[in-house]
Structure 1
Amino acid sequence: MKTSLRRGRVFRLLASGAGAALLLSACMGGTTDDGKDAAVGYDPKANVEITWWTGQTEEQEKVAEQLAAEYHTAHPNVTIKVSPGAPTTDDLLTKLSAGFTAGSYPDVSYAYGNWAGDLGASGKTQDLTSYVNDPSFKWNEIPEAARLVATANGKVIGIPALVDNLALIYNKKLFDQAGLAYPTDNWSWDDFRAAAKKLTNTATKTYGTAFSVSGSEDTTWHLWPMLWQHGGKILDGTKPAFNSDAGVAALETLRQMAVDDKSMYLDQTDEKYGPLFNSGHVAMMLSGPWSLLDIKTAKLSYGVVNLPGYNGDHQTVSGPDLWVLFNHDDVNRAGASRDFVTWLTSAETDPKWNLAIGNLPLRSTEKDSPEFKKYVEEYPGGDKFFANLANAKQARPTAPGYEELSRNVGDAIAKVLQGQAQPKEALDEAAKKSADSIGS
């Protein structure tokens, strides 16, 4: 999900992910997960080569190669083969699933968080549960939502590579021109709706806010915090539960803005609302820290506050990505890959990675680092996104089949916001379509 900072966070993955998920399910019969720790007997002095699929763009790939070289200098017996792994991050799941079938897959790979269920079900991942819960790893320094996403079927299969969240970014100039007070951390969705309506100007083609109607995960995950704020759940066990009264109320709020008020720009592609915000044609954007690079380039005067809330609940959603570790029945490869990723995600090394490429710090202890201070100076509002991680109290499901559920919900949201269906009927239809796929 960034491209700007991190592939634009446009979630193109769902188009390619459907076929990949089928490939994964096909190879589940050949599981190698026998319940044993893959690194028992690891010799840290053994000569070993591990493969790292970074899933990054060319510029970020250079940073990864520098870090791999730094690790090798300190551990000359460990050689790290670094590559993006696939032409784009979105292609990694397809590449991994094909590699499982062929027996040629990496030791460490970048993965979107909502692939965790399918990757965990493949039987090819290491079980890191005991490893990360050792006090020396300091697992609790990583936000809870990210830790939950790294857990599939009760097992930790990877270590978070990146953390983020959604907040409200607003254009100060447009608020000033409309004579409106700036948003605050205490805004309700009614406050947001009222401001969006006043900020919409058909003469200048300016909208109060925007929403993706592509049906992708970018469409779906914007609904989840509103669902949670209303007290709803995505799943009840393995049963879809998003079509509850809470889900209907959340989607009705969006429908009112899109259909009744016409204060919401509907983006068919996921790729237009960011540039429209940066050009001054969208006043408020529900987005994440990856947007700050493009906003900086546009030289906008902007602010960042919590998501609007319901009854004082300002929960957000986080879209953490992972370094997933795979088992090759070689204890030294397993142990070396663990040691490398532990080093990569440590409070000492992470600033050289995430902060260097414009992402939030991974660990809470990085807030006092000079690198974070520099990051906030370069990207104002980055500290607000970092603080907002405390509002990411729940995580998207890591059950197999989440991708199909997400597509169904995304399609339902798109229909409602385009005036083609009502919230209840659309969400009921999505739940019915998803009932057989989730958890299987």
Structure 2
Amino acid sequence: MGVRKSSVLSIIFILMLSLVVSACSSNGKPASTATGADGGTQTPATNGEKTKIRFSTWYGPGDIEIWKNVIDRFQTDNPNITVEFEPLEWGAYWQKLQTQLASKSAADVIGMHVGIVYGYVEKNQLAPLDDYLKTYDRKDQLSQSLLAEGQWPKDNPKQFALPWHVTGAALFVNMTAFKEAGIAYPENGWTVDEFKAAAKKLTTDKRFGFSVPSFSMAAGLAGAFGTEPTTADKLHSNYNSPEMLTFKTWLHDLIWKDKAAPNPKDLDKNIDPFVAGKVAMSMGGAWNFPVYRDIKDFEWDIAPMPSKDGKTKTYAGPDMLSITQDSKNKEAAWKFMQFVTYNQKAQELLRATGVPMLKEDLQNAALVNEIAAQKPAHFKVFLEGVTNNGVGYAFTKKFFEISQLELDADVKIMENASADIKKELETLHEQVNKEFAKQ
């Protein structure tokens, strides 16, 4: 990292100040604090003294152990910075974060979600990162599309979040069931009609061919049908579009007409139906890769997303980190963020539940083959889908509100054989627009 003139002057000032304080102090000890950029007291992370920062985020399967290993590696390289890790379950994390930000007691570094970040920026609760990035020599390792997800406002963007991980939804397939049914591994470009035919053929008296996904796990399929929850400007509902009606009807038919998917209410919420062998195909997050590697009862893999009218989409998006505006240790917090995002020691751990995101890794064929050898064997299919055809789902500041409203609507649609799908989508459309109208 280059050294700016202002940084040099600041160091000189701090050294002069420490001499004055040392001369005037009754105990002769040097001063241990300096004034931070936000006007608060900030402990320098480079003067040989210990600095403690707090890091909080949500977690999924295997995440806690991975984060602990990342923190250990960071602290080995930065012995003067201690990271206090505060992981929370997804729902609890966002509830507590709201309270902590309001009371100015949030952690220094926090997990951040695409879309939601924009609302926190508007409340001035996140620190801009642009000055740090200007002088960082590895900033070009991230694509502009990834950086853009953490920028707001879009017409005059500033960076408020950086990705630590890129993930998405994959189509998991039970290859043992495929072989028993005489179905070959799907080729790129297979259609939604071919997908439905496979789901029906995979259905037996003990197993369904597919389980109907909800919300973001359905993003890739929705994209193939040419639809998404919001308009392009992310400010209005798109649930009343003809494409959304066609898509939801197609899913509903898989359950009630084709009998190739179970009624969602009949599934045990505490059991993964794919792992249990209850369904032969399932949409699931890439964070399941390390968990599914323990499956012993059947061979599994991932398959290309089905297409419609030549369109193929894969749900993809980064999980991100931000520095809170009220942090008193922004320099140390930035060092941790920088390590997590750009350092190979961190990324080789964090990509275990996602895909490589640094340009040098995406171009590393040996690395891709190494991941594929651990499963899924067709990891490259997922990587290409995420990088070439990735699509988000309701990535707006109203993400939570929209997700709950759609999940509620899906219960009424998918669990009811005679559901009035058009009516339910019209109601959902109105509800989402009311949320957007709120300040």
Query: Same fold by TM-score, threshold 0.5 exceeded?
Result: yes
Distance 1:351 1:95, change over 3 A: same
Tell me the SS of whatever aligns to 1:354: helix
Aligned residues: 391
Which residue is 2:83 aligned to?
81
Q: Shift of the alpha carbon at 1:274?
A: 6.8
Which residue is 1:221 aligned to?
216
Tell me the SS of whatever aligns to 2:173: strand
Q: Shift of the alpha carbon at 1:264?
A: 0.9
Normalising by structure 1, what TM-score?
A: 0.77
Which residue is 1:92 aligned to?
93
8 Å contact 2:115–2:149 — kept in the other structure?
yes
Which residue is 1:326 aligned to?
324
Which residue is 2:58 aligned to?
55
Which residue is 1:340 aligned to?
336
8 Å contact 1:347–1:363 — kept in the other structure?
no
Deviations 1:15-59 (A, max 9, x none): xxxxxxxxxxxxxxxxxxxxxx869x9976355432112434796
Tell me the SS of whatever aligns to 1:290: helix
Alignment equivalent of 1:188, drawn from 188, 191, 200: 191
Q: Shift of the alpha carbon at 1:93?
A: 1.2
368-377 or 284-293, larger mean C-alpha shift: 368-377
Unaligned runs of 5+ in 1: 1-36, 213-218
Q: Shift of the alpha carbon at 1:207?
A: 0.5
Distance 1:266 1:58, change over 3 A: closer
1:385 to 2:382 alignment: yes
Alignment of 1:402-413 (within 5 A): 402-413=399-410
Tell me the SS of whatever aligns to 1:71: helix
Q: Shift of the alpha carbon at 1:407?
A: 1.5
Which residue is 1:375 aligned to?
371
Normalising by structure 2, what TM-score?
A: 0.78
Deviations 1:73-103 (A, max 9, x none): 43344x23322243x2431111111112222
8 Å contact 1:399–1:438 — kept in the other structure?
no
300-309 or 59-68, larger mean C-alpha shift: 59-68
Alignment equivalent of 1:353, drawn from 318, 337, 349: 349
316-325 or 390-399, larger mean C-alpha shift: 390-399
8 Å contact 1:149–1:398 — kept in the other structure?
no
The one-letter code sitting in structure 1 at the alignment partner of 2:185 is Y
Q: Shift of the alpha carbon at 1:366?
A: 1.8
1:244 to 2:212 alignment: no
Distance 1:170 1:259, change over 3 A: same
Percent of residue pairs identical:
19
Distance 2:148 2:262 in 1: 33
Distance 1:269 1:97 in 2: 34
Tell me the SS of whatever aligns to 1:175: helix
Alignment of 1:237-316 (within 5 A): 237=233, 238-268=235-265, 272=269, 275-299=272-296, 300-316=298-314
Which residue is 1:235 aligned to?
230
Which residue is 2:162 aligned to?
159
Deviations 1:292-348 (A, max 9, x none): 334322232223222111112111111432212211264xx2232122211111152
Unaligned runs of 5+ in 2: 1-36
Choose 1 or 2 for highest CA Rg: 2
